[in-house]
Structure 1
Amino acid sequence: MNILRIPVLSDNYIFLLHDPVNDVAAVVDPAQAEPVLQQLKVLNAELVAIFNTHHHLDHVGGNRVLKQHFPQVCVYGGEEDRGRIPGQEVFLRSRDRVEFAERTATVFFVPGHTRAHIAYYFPPIDPQEPGELLCGDTLFAGGCGRLFEGTPAQMVDSLSKIRSLPDNTRVWCAHEYTLNNLRFALSVDGENSALQQRYREVQKLRSRDLATIPSLLGLEKQTNPFLRWDIPTLQEAMGTTDPVRTFGRLRGKKDCF
């Protein structure tokens, strides 16, 4: 299974999962249909599945047009998003599984950004290879999603599920927010040498208009403040030793950054 990154809108990424053996593909969070159709034509692949993480328009905007071009395509989303995802036919719950290209992904229920958000995790076939996490707007490179429909406690629980995955997991998040996220991270965790180094590397990538996605989960654990709510230095900076309050205050600061 190959994963192709398709940049759309101002800062969104659509991810196309491609099975070159069987000439089929699945798409994750198609904000728009046309860029997906163009890539499918290049690959000479048939679309068989749409995997949505949540209902926001910049993640589901291409669903109906793609379904028109490929009537057989199956549209997946979370059970709690029933009635909010165009064309949804499969309603997924926590720990459900989906299959593509002889790979099986586990579904994680990760509310916080929205009340119904889910993520898809494909574990590696070979332990030496990375796993693949398609997490929508829950975890970003260097950040996390705004809490539009959820609470800090829900988001900490959701991010804890993600944090428990192996370090060698590629994080395919849906927006190119990394540089600004790391600027904020430095404002609250400025003595973190790994974060300082990462910021310099991301600056170089973005200066050449290169993508910072996918990230590695191990790097996120070292440098992303929204996975570090239990680190004493961050707790001290937020004025509390309570993990949920630490996270909530971090998120509040980021909202105003």
Structure 2
Amino acid sequence: MEIYRLPALSDNYIFLLHDPNQNIAAVVDPAEVKPVLEKLELLGAELVTIFNTHHHHDHVGANQKLIQKFPKLTVYGGVEDRGRIPGQQVFLQEGDRVHFAQRVGEVLFVPGHTSGHIAYYFPPLVAGEIGELFCGDTLFAGGCGRLFEGTPVQMVESLSKLRNLPENTRIWCAHEYTLKNLQFAMTVDRENPDLQARFAEVKEARSRNEATVPSMIGVEKRTNPFLRWEQPALQLAVQSQDPVQTFAHLRGKKDRF
């Protein structure tokens, strides 16, 4: 399974999955139709699947036009998003499986950013190799999504599911927010040497207009404050030792940053 990162809108990423053996493709969270069609044309591939993580327009904006172009494709989304994702045909919940390119993806229910948010995790075919996580706006490189519809309790539970995936899991998150996220992280976890090194690397990469997605679960566990609510330095920064309250205070600080 080949994965292509397609920039869209001002800071979104669409992910196109290609099965070169059958020359078919799937797309995750198509915000815009043009980059998808251009990549499909270059590959000479037929789009057969849309995997949506949640209902926000910058993740489903191209659904209808893609359905018009490829009327046989199947649109997947979470069961809690029934009626909110254009063209949705399959309604997924925790523990369901999806299939593409001889890979089996596991569906994770990860509410918090929205009430119906799901993620798709494709474990490696061989133990110890790299897995692939498509997590929409739940987990970002260096950050996490705003809580528009969910609660801190839900988001901590959701992020815990993602944090518990193997460290060599690539995180295909849907926005190029990494530099701003790490700028905030430095205000609450400044003495973290892993964060210091990552911040310098990301500043350099963004100065060259290079993408910082995908990330890795292992990197996030060492540097992302929203996966580190048990760390004493972060608890001290928000004056709380309760995991949910620590997360909630950190999220509030980031909202005002």
Secondary structure of the residue that 2:159 maps to in structure 1? helix
Matches within 5 A, 1:62-77: 62-77=62-77
The residue type equivalent to 1:136 in the other structure is G
1:146-157 aligned within 5 A: 146-157=146-157
Aligned to 2:207: 207
After superposing on structure 2, the runs of 4+ consecutive aligned residues of structure 1 that deviate more than 3 Å are: none
Partner of 2:239: 239
Q: Tell me, in whole angstroms, the C-alpha distance in 2 between the residues paired with 1:111 and 1:55.
A: 12
Q: Secondary structure of 1:182's partner?
A: helix
**How far is the alpha carbon of 1:236 from its aligned partner?**
1.4
Q: Any idea what the Cα deviations from partners look like across 1:27-50, whole Å, max 9, x if unmatched? A: 000001111011000000000100
Which letter does structure 2 place at the counterpart of 1:24?
I
Unaligned runs of 5+ in 1: none
Structure 2 gap ranges (5+): none
Distance 1:254 1:12 in 2: 20
Residue aligning to 1:104: 104
Q: TM-score, normalised by structure 1?
A: 0.99
SS at match of 1:136: coil
Q: 1:127 aligned to 2:127?
A: yes
Residue 96 of structure 1 and its aligned partner are, at CA, apart by 0.4
Deviation at 1:129, TM superposition (A): 1.9
How far off is 1:145 after superposition? 0.1
Aligned-residue offset at 1:232: 1.4
Q: Distance in 1 between matches of 2:49 and 2:17?
A: 9
Quote how far apart the aligned CAs of 1:126 are. Answer: 1.6
Q: After TM superposition, give the deviation of residue 127 of structure 1 in Å.
A: 2.1
What's 2:27 paired with?
A: 27
Q: Which amino acid aligns with 2:244?
A: V
- What percentage of aligned pairs have identical amino acids? 68
* Cα distance between partner residues in 1 of 2:167 and 2:88: 32
TM-score of the pair, normalised by structure 2 = 0.99
Which residue in 1 is equivalent to 2:92?
Answer: 92
Give the deviation of 1:106 after TM superposition: 0.3
Deviations 1:162-219 (A, max 9, x none): 0110000000000000000000000000000000000000011100000000001100
Q: Tell me the secondary structure at the aligned position of residue 185 of structure 2.
A: helix
Give distance in 2, aligned partners of 1:99 and 1:168.
Answer: 21
- Number of aligned residue pairs: 257
Output the aligned Cα RMSD.
0.5
